[in-house]
A and B are shown apart, each in its own frame.
Chain A
């Protein structure tokens, strides 16, 4: 009788261990089938700052909320390979992966993914797509449609102008940019979207930049400098910075990070916002919402950079609220 009791005790203990030990495994096994599959297609390469920012936002969303998803990432790398053929091939490659992997949702960042993959192959299909980073207007790709929604990227010009106006003596706004079609389109969009007047100067050389910059100090009350200037062949950021510190008499600003060393204020878009929104929307779709029922949105978050050297030169004392949410360009690595 005593032996039987001991055996029964060991049996119960063993059963307890088995139940406690095996059940979590069973749950994991079952849950593995339920993990949603999300395919992320970036238009550019992973080292590209904007792309990495989007991806970081996307990943942090799932990780911060501890949401288990199976992510697969494709980089079309169309920033470094700009030929039409490459872009189309990259799109077809992505298409094959989609068909083979059969994701629940596809997130596509920036224009090329939408232009070369979604619009030609997947528009109005059953596979839901969330785009992000499309500049200004998604309608050119036929979005939104039954299976596509997303976040459009717009320049935060109104917010920048509002801050600059605080320290400007007048309302005249100068716009200094590289002499390119894109810069001109941007200026048009600013004027069209936000109904503002701009005094535009487009330059092709660094010297032209300095001259135009100096001229704007006399001709306008505030200056918006386009980031594409840094793409000029003879651009010298260090010199530009020193030139600005020496020459500036009016508050200036930019919405593109490369040029923040030369402006009083940098009001740049936050790539992570795009990624976070795209991840959240993909999750909503996985949870049952339809893309067509989710309206397209614009980015709102801004990363503020303050150039305290220029501020001191201009005698501007920023409010602490702005300082607290800003990064001093002096804190960044020297250009």
Chain B
């Protein structure tokens, strides 16, 4: 049963109609019972009177007949004929239909049938019947009985003394009370119609009276559903009018409060949204940070002031051979051997005692039992009040870098102590490193030369073709070797026996060039001096002549020039 049906069943209209209907039906039923009782009494009385009159009429006929019989003066002679005559007349008068249900009858003193519509004259079948005996005994009365077919009948009878006859009338109760039934049926119909009309009128009136209440109910339902802008169009000075006005005031008050609440709610929503946004941002940030620390190759962890891990990154978890969730909630002694754990714990306590940043090298053991050199950086963090609530640490595995450093130191020492000068440049020719031998050879210090281009050493003794060919060879990843004349810091030209090798990275790409140089200038100079000496010897002769000519010309030029300078006012040029 839905809500509407339940409400309809409990509505005022329904209840009032139900009560009135019950009251009307009950009153109608009572009236009907009372009317029925009274009516049966009236009918009994009237029927008794009616049929007594009918019997009197028959008795009158019999009496007149008997009187005429006596008038004849020959009673014995005529009696049978007169009886037959009067019975014939009575039959003709009263037995008009073959199956009539109401009929008079006459029974003789011995119970024999004198006149009956169905039984022959002198029939004795009724003689022993209870009602016959009753009739013969009481002579004049009426009573009800049930006949042999089970039908209820009413019998009224009187006595004709002259012939010792009981004259009676038999009436089925159904017919006797037919008028009562008809009246009762009409009464039922009339009362039903009246009840219906009254109910319709009441329905109209109740509907009219309850319409404002129903309207208020609908409005309250609408308001309950959230629609507070319902128009309350109910007026009047009665209780419903007062109720409607109170309802309007209540609605207005609710509207006001709702508007206020809506504003607050809006603010709250905004705050919630902001908080959600902040929470999301925080979560994002947390995730980001988690990702970030996970992305960091070095091990990162954070603990509370009790030394309990609150979290770590993948690298740290990998180092310990445990999952991050396994690590969280554990202390340092639960994840490291005691020797390592004691050191870490001591350092943690020291940091908490002196909040700030802590950096130290230590050793760590991984899940495989390998011991690593690590650089540990720790820092405390505080809550909003500034209270230290934990630390965050980063552990950098420096085992490899330490090894490489050793190797690099070895190589550097070798290069540093090498007799040949070594220059390392990048692909663009920018010098990245020179060894002490180069410093001694070139006069440039490492500080001066690093960052400079190879061109600083260019001497103009080689054409572009020389350098292009050299570069082509180097670009192909091949080693170039040869002599090259470079200008050193003091401007002196030095011939270097040079071997330049390209240096490749792991991908095979050329990233640097290493140049090994040996100064062969003296060797070249000796060879050139010899050659020059020979050449000068030949030319000297030629030049002596020419020089004499030129000196003559120049002597004049120079002389006049000096004279001109003297004539010019000092500072005007």
Contact = CB atoms under 8 A, between A and B. Distances in A.
A317 interface: yes
Interface string B57-89: 000000000001001111001100110110001
B72 A312 contact: yes
Interface residues of A, number: 11
Given A320-B81, A320-B85, A323-B85, A330 B71 contact: yes
Contacts of B82: 320
Given A323-B85, A324-B85, A317 B74 contact: yes
Contacts of B84: 320
A190 B96 CA distance: 44
Given A320-B85, A324-B85, A309 B78 contact: no
A308 B73 CA distance: 7
Contacts of A328: 68, 71-72
Interface string A312-335: 100001001001100010110000
The CB with the most chain B CB atoms within 10 A, among A309, A320, A331, is that of A320
Nearest to A316: B74
Nearest to A313: B73
Interface in A286-331: 308-309, 311-312, 317, 320, 323-324, 328, 330-331
B77 A317 contact: yes
A330 B73 CA distance: 10
Contacts of B81: 320, 323
Interface size class of B (residues with CB under 8 A): 10 to 19
Given A317-B77, A317-B78, A308 B85 contact: no
Interface string A93-133: 00000000000000000000000000000000000000000
Instruction: Specify the main secondary structure of chain A where it touches its partner.
Output: helix
A324 B87 CA distance: 12
A241 to B, nearest CB: 15
Contacts of A331: 68, 71
Interface string B471-485: 000000000000000
Contacts of A324: 85, 89
Nearest to A330: B71
Contact of A309 (B68, B73, B85, B89): B73
B117 to A, nearest CB: 22
A332 to B, nearest CB: 11
A292 to B, nearest CB: 42
Nearest to B81: A320
Given A320-B82, A320-B85, A324-B85, A308 B71 contact: yes
A309 B74 CA distance: 10
Contacts of B89: 324
A309 B78 CA distance: 14
Given A320-B81, A320-B85, A312 B68 contact: no
A283 to B, nearest CB: 30
A328 B82 CA distance: 14
Nearest to B74: A312
A70 B74 CA distance: 50
B363 to A, nearest CB: 106
Interface string A239-264: 00000000000000000000000000
B73 A312 contact: yes
Contacts of B68: 323, 328, 331
B466 to A, nearest CB: 122
Contacts of B85: 320, 323-324
Nearest to A315: B74
A317 B74 CA distance: 9
Interface in B72-127: 72-74, 77-78, 81-82, 84-85, 89
Contacts of A320: 81-82, 84-85
B492 to A, nearest CB: 130
A324 B90 CA distance: 13
Contacts of A330: 71
A226 to B, nearest CB: 26
A24 to B, nearest CB: 26
Nearest to A328: B71
A88 B74 CA distance: 54
Contacts of A311: 72
Given A308-B72, A320-B85, A323-B72, 15 more contacts: A308-B71, A308-B73, A309-B73, A312-B72, A312-B74, A317-B74, A317-B77, A320-B81, A320-B82, A320-B84, A323-B68, A328-B71, A328-B72, A331-B68, A331-B71
7 contacts: A311-B72, A312-B72, A320-B81, A323-B78, A324-B85, A324-B89, A331-B71
Question: A-B pairs with the 10 shortest C-beta distances?
Answer: A312-B73, A320-B81, A330-B71, A308-B72, A328-B71, A320-B85, A308-B71, A317-B77, A308-B73, A312-B74
